[in-house]
């Protein structure tokens, strides 16, 4: 279940050396899928199960991963090898791959899934990344599954990880956008390519159409635009209200009239006064956002707004923690622009995690993964004492 790469100062790869016959990829993020190109450098027969949106999105993500990778991949060949082995499966369908399993909406990004492994002696649930609240695009994770053992993520497992409501998020976004545009400043939003960027486009489009924000050009870059197309194409995986609005009321936020793609190579057109720019990478570790940041950092009318998790050690995290300059392509750049944070999340927060687990029927054992050490511990402390809880380390084996 999942074959990701940990992208940090040094890339870290899965430590299991034996290549399995069957793999399930839960969603298109690199920490869950980016080892596939390593595995499929050569042709091999391994079934890779995933939903259709994940199949569509990983092509984009993996192509980009290979482009920036230090390993040299034969990109076309590798992608072909992966796609030939993809086995598309839908939510709720029981697949027999030697063991029986089914995928269930995890509400994280389009096509994202939790994996339920069926076993008469007790099911195993791997939550993968999940969200318990509705977003502009997705329904929340399916709750109430039956499992004796759960492997649960803990990105926001810390006791103080309380995320604002959708209403509070909306109000803050409106305030930051209006405050910046009133000064003729530009709003720069570093974002992940898949998920957050599209959510933001839909939020901004809706506020502009509703008159809460003055219409302003929203610039998005290549990856975010391509993923937006895929989301529209696979809209059957989006929540019903969104499908309904596209089909019945002719309002298609995926084709917003406020959205533009910069045309010039140096992206000068996108930094006109009063523009909004949503671009990668989300933690300021390279990508087009650095070009914009260099241009916009020195003007205090402008705003840099973080909208996602900033991992320790990243430039994004340092700025969020108060650093007033940033290194861009070898140059130290002073930050005079406003810094704002909008606590958007595609992950369950502390209470969401606890609540989700309490809704699993017949749960006895909980393995906490996918989170900083302190957050795993704090989540463990908050769980009902009736569960046997484990904080596994890399390489440890358990029998369930
Ligand atoms: Zn994810
Ligand atoms: Zn993840």
pLDDT for 321: 95
Contact call for residues 45 and 85 (beta carbons, < 8 A): yes
How is residue 134 written in tokens?
A: 């509705």
Residues 286-300: pLDDT tens digits? 889 999 999 999 999
Q: Residue range 67-73: average pLDDT? A: 88
Question: How far away, in angstroms, is 178 Cα from ligand 1 center?
Answer: 30
Q: Residue range 367-394: average pLDDT? A: 97
Q: What is the pTM of this model?
A: 0.93
Per the DSSP assignment, residues forming a β-bridge with 177 are: none
Question: How far away, in angstroms, is 29 Cα from ligand 1 center?
Answer: 5
Cα 131 off chain centre by: 11
pLDDT at 8 over 80: no
Nearest residue to 197 (alpha-carbon basis) of 168, 226, 169, 177? 226
pLDDT at 311 over 90: no
Share of the chain above pLDDT 70, in %: 100
pLDDT for 25: 98
Question: How far away, in angstroms, is 93 Cα from ligand 2 center?
Answer: 23
Per-residue burial over 371-389, b if 16 or more Cβ lie within 10 Å, else e, is beeebbbbbbeebeeebeb
Taking the C-alpha atoms of residue 90 and residue 111, their distance in angstroms, rounded to an integer, is 9
Topology of domain 166-341, CATH: Rossmann fold (3.40.50)
Length of the chain: 400
Residues 141-186: pLDDT tens digits? 999 999 999 999 999 999 999 999 999 999 999 999 999 999 999 9
Distances in whole angstroms, Cα of residue 320 to Cα of each of 29, 186, 189, 204, 227: 23, 19, 13, 23, 27
Question: How far away, in angstroms, is 30 Cα from ligand 1 center?
Answer: 8
Q: Tell me the CATH architecture of domain 22-159+346-390.
A: 4-Layer Sandwich (3.60)
CB half-sphere exposure, 342, CA atoms < 13 A: 29
Question: How far away, in angstroms, is 115 Cα from ligand 2 center?
Answer: 14
Confirm whether 22-159+346-390 and 166-341 share one CATH topology. Answer: no
Other beta carbons within 10 angstroms of residue 369's beta carbon come to 16
Contact call for residues 180 and 394 (beta carbons, < 8 A): no
Q: Residue range 332-345: average pLDDT? A: 96
Cα 372 off chain centre by: 17
Average pLDDT over the chain, rounded to an integer: 95
Q: Break the chain into its structural domains and give their ranges.
A: 22-159+346-390, 166-341
- SS3 label, residue 101: strand
Question: How far away, in angstroms, is 232 Cα from ligand 2 center?
Answer: 23
Residues 92-111: pLDDT tens digits? 999 999 999 999 999 999 99
Nearest residue to 335 (alpha-carbon basis) of 197, 188, 173, 193? 188
pLDDT for 265: 80
Share of the chain above pLDDT 90, in %: 86
Ligand nearest to the CA of 346: 1
Q: Residue range 245-272: average pLDDT? A: 89
Taking the C-alpha atoms of residue 193 and residue 289, their distance in angstroms, rounded to an integer, is 12
Question: How far away, in angstroms, is 379 Cα from ligand 2 center?
Answer: 17
């Amino acid at each position: 279940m999942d074959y990701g790469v940990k992208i940090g100062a040094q890339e870290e790869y899965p430590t299991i050396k034996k290549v399995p016959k069957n793999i399930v990829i839960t969603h298109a993020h690199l920490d869950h899928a980016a080892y596939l190109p390593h595995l499929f450098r050569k042709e091999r027969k391994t079934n890779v199960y995933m939903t259709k949106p994940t199949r569509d999105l990983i092509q984009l993500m993996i192509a980009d991963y290979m482009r920036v990778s230090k390993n040299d991949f034969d990109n076309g060949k590798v992608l072909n090898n992966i796609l030939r082995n993809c086995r598309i499966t839908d939510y709720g369908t029981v697949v027999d791959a030697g063991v029986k399993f089914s995928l269930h909406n995890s509400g994280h990004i389009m096509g994202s899934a939790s994996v339920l492994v069926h076993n008469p002696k007790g099911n195993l649930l791997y939550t993968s990344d999940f969200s318990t609240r509705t977003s502009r695009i997705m329904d929340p994770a399916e709750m109430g599954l039956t499992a004796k053992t759960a492997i649960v993520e803990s990105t926001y497992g810390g006791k103080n990880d309380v995320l604002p409501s959708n209403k509070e998020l909306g109000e803050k976004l409106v305030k930051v956008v209006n405050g910046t545009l009133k000064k003729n400043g530009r709003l720069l939003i570093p974002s992940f390519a898949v998920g957050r960027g599209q959510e933001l486009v839909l939020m901004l489009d809706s506020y502009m159409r509703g008159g809460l924000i003055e219409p302003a050009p929203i610039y998005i870059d290549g990856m975010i635009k391509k993923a937006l197309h895929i989301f529209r194409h696979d809209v059957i995986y989006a929540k019903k209200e969104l499908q309904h609005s596209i089909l019945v009321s002719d309002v298609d936020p995926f084709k917003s009239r406020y959205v533009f793609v910069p045309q010039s190579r140096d992206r000068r057109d996108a930094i006109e006064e009063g523009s909004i720019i949503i671009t990668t990478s989300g933690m300021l570790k390279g990508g087009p956002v650095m070009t914009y940041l260099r241009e916009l950092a020195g003007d205090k009318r402008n705003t840099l707004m973080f909208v996602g998790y900033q991992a320790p050690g990243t430039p994004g995290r340092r700025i969020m923690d108060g650093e007033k300059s940033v290194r861009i392509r070898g140059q130290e750049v002073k930050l005079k622009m406003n810094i704002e944070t909008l606590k958007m999340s595609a992950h369950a927060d502390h209470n969401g995690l606890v609540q989700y687990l309490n809704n699993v029927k017949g749960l006895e054992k909980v393995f906490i993964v996918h989170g900083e050490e302190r957050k795993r511990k704090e989540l463990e402390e908050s769980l009902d004492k009736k569960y046997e809880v484990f904080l596994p380390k890399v390489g440890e084996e358990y029998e369930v």
